[in-house]
Amino acid sequence: MNFKIAVIPGDGIGVDVINQAVKALDKIGEVYGHTFEYHHRLVGGCSIDECGVPITDETVEICRTCDAILFGAAGGPKWDHLPAEMRPEKGLARLRREFNLFANLRPSKIYEDLKEKSPLKNRVIEKGVDMMLIRDLTGGIYFNEKGTRTGKYGEEAFDVECYSKFEVERVAKKAFEIAMTRKKHVTSVDKFNALYSGKLWRDTVTEVAKDYPEVTLEHMLVDKAAMDIACMPSHFDVILTTSIFGDILSDEAGVTTGSIGMLPSAAMNDKGFGLFEPIHGTAPDIAGKGIANPLASMAAVGMLLEYGLGLTEEARAMDRAINKVLHDGYRTGDIFLEGNTRVTTEEMGALTVERITK
């Protein structure tokens, strides 16, 4: 099969790691008989330097012709002086807006050979950690009415947490669809006992669940979910929640793995189109030094294959390769322990690619 992929390394170590991710896609194509046509574009600070804006209209239109977007990272202190509307991150924000990427997928799993890097106790992680947190990405408190005013005690600031039934339905459907490919269990996280928006969230998710009778649905308050992610993460399969709760819980879930250098992410719409990226950011202090961990970007390739292109077998091959390279003891600095073999970004990429087989 032939696929068109928009490749956007962005800034900082985004360039370093996406180079390795593309090599992984090439090997997947070689092994499984696919052709990947790449469209390399600038977004973020590099686009500001080259084009004067965080993203160009041309880049948006080229992405529109592609089957998926492979993204690195955007931003850095070099551009911190710019006004908010011109910051590098606005390029990524526009991509999310243009393609209605309302569902954020954040997997969190502990690889067997990285258990020692997890901050969780052995008795906790020995039961396994393999969660998929799905949060709304375009609604809620971050995107609704906000401002300042004078109140009873003087100056006030406010941000409105508001959800429509439609917004909840669409992200809930995505969560249930993904749960059907996993262990068929969804934990919907809200604060229905204190928030009107939480009650709407819970009621709507309950309605959507009726269309997925094979999936077990449980509701959980956000404070209980925060405790259980830390104390009994093996309980969770798919976690569904709001933008602000998901922002916090996904980082908590992610830290259980021991390194953000291992964590991929996806932002998707209801048509199956998505943007796939590592979550580690630009890390400009180590950019170009050959020490960044490319495995999160390669795991993002796995998500692109599975959720973006529907290539489940190929995604599993990518995951197997990551597991194999870790089992063979190769490590970049962020996941290095005594007894491992320390390797560079490029070496880790090449060693992982070598292990991609059917």
The residues annotated as belonging to the active site are 142, 191, 223, 247, 251
CA within 13 Å, CB half, 352: 34
Per-residue DSSP letter, 306: I
In this structure, are strands 146-151 and 330-331 parallel, antiparallel, or unpaired?
A: unpaired
Whose structure tokens read 């194999």?
324
List residues bridging with 190 in a β-sheet: 221
Q: Which amino acid is at 115?
A: K
Q: Phi, psi (5° rounding) for residue 27?
A: -70, -40
| Structure-token pair, residue 288 | 């170009």
CA within 13 Å, CB half, 28: 30
For 36, 88, 109, 192, 194, the CA distances from 16, given in Å and listed in that order, are 20, 18, 23, 43, 45
- Which contiguous run of DSSP H or E holds residue 131? strand 130-136
307: region left, alpha or beta (phi > 0 left; psi from -120 to 50 alpha)? alpha
Q: How far apart are CA 66 and CA 248, in angstroms?
A: 31
116 exposed, middle or buried (CB, 10 Å; 0-12, 13-18, 19+)? Answer: exposed
149: region left, alpha or beta (phi > 0 left; psi from -120 to 50 alpha)? beta
Per-residue DSSP letter, 263: -
In this structure, are strands 238-241 and 185-190 parallel, antiparallel, or unpaired?
A: parallel
